[in-house]
Structure 1
């Protein structure tokens, strides 16, 4: 499964919110392709901070978790023959809800908790750390969670990599000005007020950040604010939902904005109008189905596998978060299957994951975990350009590695 990776450089960032509902319980594995019931070892329990409820839900993450569970308990064969029993807990933006979920996970004696791109995951950490239950995720959307390495492992890049990487790539392509919008939250002000100016100055790019209401956004106004300066790149640093991307792209096109429309990690708007979407750009922590034609052989195989299981989930919500969550569970299972069976405990899981070296992650780059200062196992990311046929093509031949000197100034980035 070893894949050839060559590092380039770039600039980009994440700061969105996915939010969940209320209620915890055990999630049974969905009946997916090749699902079986041949696993006879005792199940291992894994928690899931599920962002399917709340004011800005992100149901794609739950789709990915369900699909992954079907695959892992079916044709993958479990972890050392043990089926995975998922303890799913719906969350919202409140720390209180995250704390409640953490208490449930401790009570259920899970060996790890999977983070569903949760904005309040740091509130779960005190209880999980005290119980020696690691938090495992892709991208830490909670900046407090992402600032330290204690009792947590994230397989994808830190938030800062996505802003740094994208801007770096735009600068390399000769683009000199960007105007980017973000939902108005406390974390957003860290990104726009503090990080964006520093990154822009380091790259020699003119950058402007604007906000929109997370509960009552006016995308006609946002599009007008972007288009009035006619920047080379305009769009979103991050998006709380696919609907946000679709609304902003539509508004910018109505204003006849001719620059590159940057849509964070959104993809649904491309399916609705591929020709109008052409020339846009989006980032990702992993390979996406729309990029399959350009993916290396191993990633192409993994995309086909994930797509098969995601499509089998009832009322599936495919998209970036579904594939990201599938990749999280798959990489976790692959890593723990490579570790001794005796490591299927909270401390053992943390020890095994932090010990990963040049490990091929599912749909992602090779990862090396265990940094003393960062919970993330890589800083690499992908930036895609939207093609007229609806596919997305990497703007570089391989993974982008953001400039180390910039990331080093951001707590938890490296």
Structure 2
């Protein structure tokens, strides 16, 4: 594996050598940037695990991109626009052909410099609502944030649940969800919905759990989780409050391992298949999950979980798309043209995607909702991918 780690304001640091297969890739490396969300008040260290695992796979077993090794230029972000802008300048200087978004809350600040340099931003879910509101110079292989909330509440309503209270970390982009989206969604679906915030730096989950439990909603939990630790803390606090409704834990799964029987009946969403759902997945997905898990677990100090598998999926889908395109497209404009042109393309661990919408950077609106089983596995609540109500998504900038 060939990785160049370029922190904003710092020099390159060569990573340890990876698989021997990399030495067989004799063509010049293709540089790809990575907005690494491992720092700041809302870190996602699992994304870095997924990126490192994917590079090991791509430069080894996968065979590189048309025989070129992939070189990763990783820049640590801290959720601030200033750091995102600094990272963008680093990527332009290093002449990367694309930048991979690691579920960053301030990725939009990197876009002006990247767009001017003809370098596309590629991700799974745009956590920055400004990034997700337009399609220019960006492609996201998974659904927009709104899809997960809309799809989950659709499924809850279909199951007869009439009230929800959901918490979200208090950031500027969160207010788009709680203040604007949730009321519209509740009215459209005919359910009661309440949103509450918690501090990104000093959260009090006892207070959050108390606020959820006092209304005794049918569903209580998280809109999105900044980390597995947040899920575990809130689930523990809700149990202490003796909350009896469905505990909704966004995309978290780690809390299940510690007490699967107590977790049974809970719910979580995902943009892709997860290892805990392998038993219920199609055979080809089971094979892909095993491959991803093997590489993710081999990463030193691995942080497995939703973000690791999501980032691994991002890199592999990107590599498969570019490997199917001419070698001459391994440039910024070529990458953007190739990805925008994907039609009914099988994404890794996800649904078939069609990109190139003029109004949305997302290539799908589909998502999965899982129910936690007493044996610790998670089972899809529907036989197919859930497609959120188009009329609701149409009211959200950039969602469709």
TM-score normalised by structure 1 residue count: 0.93
Q: Residue in 2 aligned with 1:335?
A: 321
Q: Residue in 2 aligned with 1:9?
A: none
C-alpha separation in 2, matches of 1:200 and 1:55: 30
After superposition, what is the alpha-carbon deviation per residue over 1:203-241, rounded to whole angstroms, capped at 9, x for unaligned?
011111111111111111111111111110000001111
Q: Is the 8 A contact 1:26 1:86 kept in 2?
A: no
C-alpha separation in 1, matches of 2:285 and 2:311: 16
Q: Does 2:122 match 1:136?
A: yes
The residue correspondences of 1:305-344 to structure 2 (distance < 5 A) are: 305-344=291-330
The residue correspondences of 1:277-316 to structure 2 (distance < 5 A) are: 277-316=263-302
C-alpha separation in 2, matches of 1:388 and 1:251: 20
Q: Residue in 2 aligned with 1:39?
A: 25
User: CA 1:23 to 1:121, structure 2 compared with 1: closer, same or farther past 3 Å?
Assistant: same
Q: Residue in 2 aligned with 1:185?
A: 171
Find the partner of 1:168 among 150, 154, 158: 154
Aligned partner of residue 385 in structure 1, secondary structure: strand
Q: Residue in 2 aligned with 1:117?
A: 103
| Mean Cα deviation higher: 317-326 or 252-261 | 252-261
After superposition, what is the alpha-carbon deviation per residue over 1:118-171, rounded to whole angstroms, capped at 9, x for unaligned?
100000000000000000000000000000000000000011101100000000
Q: Residue in 2 aligned with 1:204?
A: 190
Aligned partner of residue 400 in structure 1, secondary structure: coil
Q: Residue in 2 aligned with 1:242?
A: 228
Structure 1 residue runs without a partner (length 5+): 1-20
Question: How far is 1:36 from its partner?
Answer: 4.0
Question: How far is 1:297 from its partner?
Answer: 1.4
Q: Residue in 1 aligned with 2:252?
A: 266
Q: Residue in 2 aligned with 1:7?
A: none
After superposition, what is the alpha-carbon deviation per residue over 1:25-78, rounded to whole angstroms, capped at 9, x for unaligned?
657676667854211111100000001111221110000000000000001000
C-alpha separation in 2, matches of 1:144 and 1:87: 24
Q: Residue in 2 aligned with 1:55?
A: 41
Q: Is the 8 A contact 2:100 2:122 kept in 1?
A: yes
| Mean Cα deviation higher: 389-398 or 183-192 | 183-192
Question: How far is 1:271 from its partner?
Answer: 0.9
TM-score normalised by structure 2 residue count: 0.96
**Alpha carbon RMSD of aligned pairs, Å?**
1.4
Q: Residue in 2 aligned with 1:107?
A: 93
Find the partner of 2:362 among 367, 376, 384: 376
Aligned partner of residue 211 in structure 1, secondary structure: strand
The residue correspondences of 1:140-155 to structure 2 (distance < 5 A) are: 140-155=126-141
Q: Residue in 2 aligned with 1:218?
A: 204
Aligned partner of residue 214 in structure 1, secondary structure: coil
After superposition, what is the alpha-carbon deviation per residue over 1:351-391, rounded to whole angstroms, capped at 9, x for unaligned?
00000000000000000000000000000000000011110
| Mean Cα deviation higher: 364-373 or 51-60 | 51-60
Q: Is the 8 A contact 1:66 1:313 kept in 2?
A: yes
Aligned partner of residue 265 in structure 1, secondary structure: coil
Q: Is the 8 A contact 1:35 1:70 kept in 2?
A: no
Question: How far is 1:189 from its partner?
Answer: 1.5
C-alpha separation in 1, matches of 2:291 and 2:16: 16
C-alpha separation in 1, matches of 2:150 and 2:63: 39
Q: Which of structures 1 and 2 has the larger relative contact order (alpha carbons within 8 angstroms, sep 6+)? A: 1
Q: Residue in 1 aligned with 2:375?
A: 389
User: CA 1:25 to 1:176, structure 2 compared with 1: closer, same or farther past 3 Å?
Assistant: farther
User: CA 1:22 to 1:348, structure 2 compared with 1: closer, same or farther past 3 Å?
Assistant: closer
